[in-house]
Amino acid sequence: MSDKSNWKIWEVFVRSKNGLSHKHAGSLHAPDAEMALKNARDVYTRRSEGVSIWVVESEAITASSPDEKEPLFAPSDDKVYRHPTFYEIPDEVGHM
Amino acid sequence: MGESHSLEERFQAYVDAENKIEPKDWMPERYRKTLIRQISQHAHSEVVGMLPESNWITRAPSLRSKLILLAKVQDEAGHGLYLYSAAETLGADRKDMIDDLHTGKAKYSSIFNYPTISWADMGAIGWLVDGAAIANQVMLCRTSYGPYSRAMVRICKEESFHQRQGYEIMMRLAKGTPEQIAMAQDALNRWWWPSIMMFGPRDEDSPNSAQSMKWKIKRKSNDELRQEFIDKTVPQAEFLGLTIPDPDLKWNEETGHYDFGEINWDEFYQVIKGNGPCNKQRLDDRRNAHEAGEWVREAANAYAEKEAQRRKEGNAA
C-alpha cells in the first residue's frame, strides 16, 4: 500500500482560451489520468485560468539534456540570415 | 576537486548574471539541499496554515464570509501543492516531505502555532500574516530557481485576495460597535509581534542568509523585509483607527522609516522549539487529517485499478 500511496506525477498543461496553445502550468500526483484531470481542475484552474486541460505522465516526457544545450542549439546561432533584419531594404520600398 | 571548484564558479557567475536555474541544470549540492529545505518548509506552512482558519469556517458570521474563508483555505491547500511540486523537481519525494512534517523533523512557520480565538483573528491573519507572507513571497518571485520562482508568481497573484479580505474584516469591525472595535484591537495586539517575527531572526543572527543571498535564493534580508512590512502596515493601522502595540514605534525623519521596539526573541525561539501555545495541537490535527484521509486514497487506488481493468476487458472484447 505504501508504494501505491505515492502516486505517479503528472504534468499539467492548460489552454487559457481558444486560439492559444496549452501551456505548462505545473505538476501533481494522481492514481490515474482521469483523477489527474480532476485534481488539475482544482489545483490549477480555481480562477477560470483555463478552457482545456492536458495531463501527461511526467515519465512519458523525453527532455533534451542541459549538457547538450551547445551542440543542439548553437548551430542556429550563426545563421543570422534566417532573420528578416539581416536584409537591408531601402526605405523607399516601404514596409516589407 | 579543481573541476568541481570551477563548476561552482561557473554556477555563481550564471546566477550573478540573473539567469534562472532549471531542474536539470548542474547545481551545487548545498544549493539543492537549501532549496529543498526552504521550499518544503514553505509548503508545510501553507498546509498547516489552513488549520487556524478552518477553525472559523463553521463559525463565520455570514454566508458571504464563510464562502470567502472556504476559498481562502482552499487556496492555501493549492499553494502547498504548488510548492511540494517545486521541491519535487529537485529530487525530493513528496511522501518523505510529509513524513518529515508529521514526525516534527521539518519546520513550518511558527505563526501558525498561535490560537485563533475570535472572528477578528481571521481579519488580523489576512491583513498581517498574509501581508508579511506576501512581502517575503514577492521577493521570492525573483528567486534564482525557476520552478520556485514560478510557483511564487502564481501564489502572489492569489495571495493578494487574502490580504484584502482580511483588511476588509478589520475595516468592518473597526467601524462597528465598541465591542467590535475592541475585538479588532485585541486581535492586532495578539498578532502584531508574531507577525513581525515571521521574517526570522535579525540579519546578524541568521547564519544561512548570506549564502542564500549570494545564490540569489533570497533577494532581501530578514531585516530589510521586516522594515518594509512595518513601513507599509503602520498607515494601514492608522486608517483603521487601531493602535499597534509597540510604544517605541515612531516615524524617523532621518532614515525615512519607522523605528520599532525590541522583539521578544526568547518567545520566537521557544515557539520554534515546539513550546508555542498550539504546536502540539497543530501537528496532532495534521497527522489525524492525514490518517483519516487514508481510506480516500485507498478508494482512489481501487477505483483506478478497476477502471484500468475495465478498459483492458473492453479492448479484449
Q: Does ipTM top 0.95?
A: no
**CATH number for B285:** 1.20.1260.10
Q: Which domains does chain A have, with CATH numbers?
A: 4-86 (3.10.20.520)
How far is A92 from chain B, CA to nearest CA, in Å? 42
Q: B68 lies in which domain range? A: 7-316
> Does residue B1 sit within a domain?
no
> Does residue B215 sit within a domain?
yes
Please answer yes or no on whether B94 and A6 come within 8 Å at the CB atom: yes
Residues of B in contact with A50 (CB under 8 A): none
Residues of A in contact with B155 (CB under 8 A): none
Angle, CA of A72, A61 and A36, to the nearest 5°: 150
Please answer yes or no on whether A66 and B300 come within 8 Å at the CB atom: no
Per-residue pLDDT of chain B (317 residues; tens, 9 = 90+): 455 568 999 999 999 999 999 999 999 999 999 999 999 999 999 999 999 999 899 999 999 999 999 999 999 999 999 999 999 999 999 999 999 999 999 999 999 999 999 999 999 999 999 999 999 999 999 999 999 999 999 999 999 899 999 999 999 999 999 999 999 999 999 999 999 999 999 999 998 899 999 999 999 999 999 999 999 999 999 999 999 999 999 999 999 999 999 999 999 999 999 999 999 999 999 999 999 999 999 999 999 999 999 999 988 87
Q: What pTM was estimated for this model as a whole?
A: 0.92
From B78, B94, B297, residue closest to A43, measured CB to CB: B78
Average pLDDT over residues A59-64: 94
> Does residue B251 sit within a domain?
yes
What dihedral angle (degrees, nearest 10) is formed by the CA atoms of A76, A82, A85, A89? Answer: 160
The long-range contacts involving B266-274, CB below 8 angstroms and separated by at least 24 positions, are B267/B193, B267/B197, B268/B110, B268/B197, B268/B201, B271/B110, B271/B113, B271/B194, B272/B107, B272/B110, B274/B104
Residues of A in contact with B79 (CB under 8 A): none
Please answer yes or no on whether A47 and B304 come within 8 Å at the CB atom: no
- Residue B175: how many other CB atoms lie within 10 Å: 12
Q: Does B25 touch chain A (CB under 8 A)?
A: yes
Evaluate the CA torsion angle B79, B80, B84, B85 in order and state its sign: negative
Task: Name the grid cell of B105.
Answer: 523533523
A79/A77 Cα distance (integer angstroms): 6
Instruction: Please count the structural domains in chain B.
Output: 1
What phi and psi values does residue B225 have, to the nearest 5 degrees? Answer: -65, -40
Question: What is the CB-side half-sphere exposure of residue B40 using CA atoms within 13 A?
Answer: 26
What phi and psi values does residue A9 have, to the nearest 5 degrees? Answer: -95, 135
Where are the alpha helices (H) located in chain B, listed in sequence order? Answer: 2-16, 29-48, 50-54, 63-88, 94-102, 120-124, 130-140, 146-174, 178-197, 209-214, 222-240, 265-270, 279-292, 294-316
Task: Name the grid cell of B163.
Answer: 490580504
> Does residue B2 sit within a domain?
no
**Pairing outcome for strands B257-259 and B250-252:** antiparallel
Output the pLDDT for position A1: 39
Q: Does B206 touch chain A (CB under 8 A)?
A: no
Q: Does B153 touch chain A (CB under 8 A)?
A: no
